[in-house]
Amino acid sequence: MDTDRIRNDFPVLQRIIKNKPLRYMDSACMSLKPRQVIDAVVEYYENFPACAGRSVHRLSHEVEEARRKAREDIKEFIGAKKLEEVVYTRNTTEGLNLVTNSLQVNQGDVVLTTDREHNSSLVTCQLLAARKKVEHRIVKSNPDSTFNIEAFKDALTPKVRLVSFVWTSNLDGYSLPAKEIIEVAHDNGSLVLLDAAQTAPHHEIDVAKLGVDFLAFSGHKMLGPTGTGVVYIKEEHYDVLDPFIVGGETVEWSTFQDHKFLDPPEKYEAGLQNYAGEIGLAAAIRYLKSIGLKKVEKHEQELNQLVHNGFSQINGVTIIGIRDPRLRGGITSFNIEGVMYHDVALIMNRNYNLMLRSGQHCVHSWFNASGIEGSVRASLYLYNTRDEVETLIEAAEEISKLD
């Protein structure tokens, strides 16, 4: 993969701060944006900044057509069968909330999550359990932090209505065996919702081959604009999801006494949408496809192996979660003995222009259960280089020597 050429597409990577290049390793939180995405967003605001679908004039038609083409790009990107299965959201959080809160459940039903869920899934299921009087159960991982398929099978009962799992963890980049999970859940008669926020930017997805019922991801983690996302809803499940937010664009007609909802996807896309963002997300998808997600995945794994090799030689550096770098994608969470994780991130930023995340990464439950206060997280993407990784290792080694 031609990383130098790729880096030239990202304006922010041309910045020099205190005579040092900007070294960005926080893509699991927010990816950088290539010029192609920025230009697509600007094109909307400069050439047809109008509402889609609500008017009959030229600009409105141009927006509607751009949105349709964007939805087509997304449909092909995830392997959906129909355009109507692609619902625009603001982010993964909204997608998870839409499905979990819209799903028709009965008192006594069960919702399963793992022990490494992002708060967007965990807390949503906790609130659902309290509000609808369903039971929320957690499937614990193996001691080595890998997925425990036997514990999952044991947790399945006829009452399990929904299996809501994070596909790829933002804690350590570990991916669950999604296809096996879906097959086992379906054999039990349960529906499956996958949080693909950390999967879509890095791995090829084919929802039809997976057979997944619902899948959510964000645009801002995969080179797209902020405030963009998608939830895939398998066509056959439209009748089990009630509208989550209602109002403009969701309704075909209304009287003072009654109303009729539009068909999906509009049924789930209330209010004026982020047109520029949707168009920008499609541009991001086209950009990733031009590079090739298999190449992106291979590049990240190679860099992550270098991080692992380097950290393994430094006394006092501990990798959090999954230890095997072949299972971690582009994410490494770590701590340095004797130095607070926030301080590690601050020193790396100040002295090396290395930009990492520190804290509990919205997986507070896992950290609290593990008795770990937090960690530093280096998350790599297609624009990161070997030189940057070497700088990260050098910085960790220097910090490990601090008294």
Estimate the crossing angle of helix 341-352 against helix 386-400, to 10 degrees.
120
CA 23 – CA 14 distance, rounded (Å): 10
Per-residue pLDDT at 379: 97
Nearest to 264 by CA among 282, 277, 278, 252: 252
Supply the pLDDT for residue 233: 98
pLDDT at 1: 81
Q: Could you report the per-residue pLDDT of 358-394, keeping only the tens digit for each?
A: 999 999 999 999 999 999 999 999 999 999 999 999 9
* Kind and range of the H or E run holding 163: strand 160-166
On the question of pLDDT at 117 being above 70, the answer is yes
What is the model's pLDDT at position 249?
84
Which residue is associated with the tokens 């130098």?
4
- Note the pLDDT of residue 402: 87
Q: Which of 85, 101, 104, 88 has the alpha carbon at shortest distance from 232?
A: 85
Residue 403 has pLDDT above 70, yes or no: no
Using one digit for the tens of pLDDT, what is the confidence trace for 84-111? 999 999 999 999 999 999 999 999 999 9
Instruction: Judge whether 221 and 200 are in contact, CB under 8 Å.
Output: yes
pLDDT, one tens digit per residue, over 295-309 is 999 999 999 999 999
CB burial string 125-159: b at 16+ within 10 A, e below: beebbeebebebebbebeeebebbeeebeebbeeb
DSSP element (H, E) containing 386: helix 386-400
pLDDT at 361: 96
Q: Where are the alpha helices (DSSP H) in 15-148?
A: 35-47, 58-78, 92-102, 119-132
pTM over 0.85: yes
Those residues with Cβ within 8 angstroms of residue 359's Cβ, 6 or more apart along the chain or in another chain: 341, 342, 374, 375
Q: How many CB atoms lie within 10 A of CB 397?
A: 17
What would the pLDDT profile of 254-265 be if each residue is shown by its tens digit? 999 999 999 999
Average pLDDT over residues 9-29: 95
Q: Rounded mean pLDDT of 169-191? A: 97
Over residues 278-289, the mean pLDDT reads 98
Query: Which pLDDT does position 344 carry in this prediction?
Result: 98
Is 127 a residue whose pLDDT tops 90?
A: yes
pLDDT at 276: 98
pLDDT in tens, 31-83: 999 999 999 999 999 999 999 977 889 999 999 999 999 999 999 999 999 99
Catalytic residues: 362
DSSP code string of 181-206 = HHHHHHHTT-EEEEE-TTTTTTS---
Is the Cβ–Cβ distance between 166 and 147 less than 8 Å? no
Query: What secondary structure does DSSP assign to 264-300, as a single string?
Result: TTGGG--SS--HHHHHHHHHHHHHHHHH-HHHHHHHH
Q: Which residues pair with 232 in a beta bridge?
A: 86, 215
How far is the C-alpha of 385 from the C-alpha of 307, rounded, in Å? 11
pLDDT of residue 66: 97
First to last CA, the chain: 40
Could you give all domains of the chain from N- to C-terminal order, each with its CATH number?
3-29+292-400 (3.90.1150.10), 37-290 (3.40.640.10)
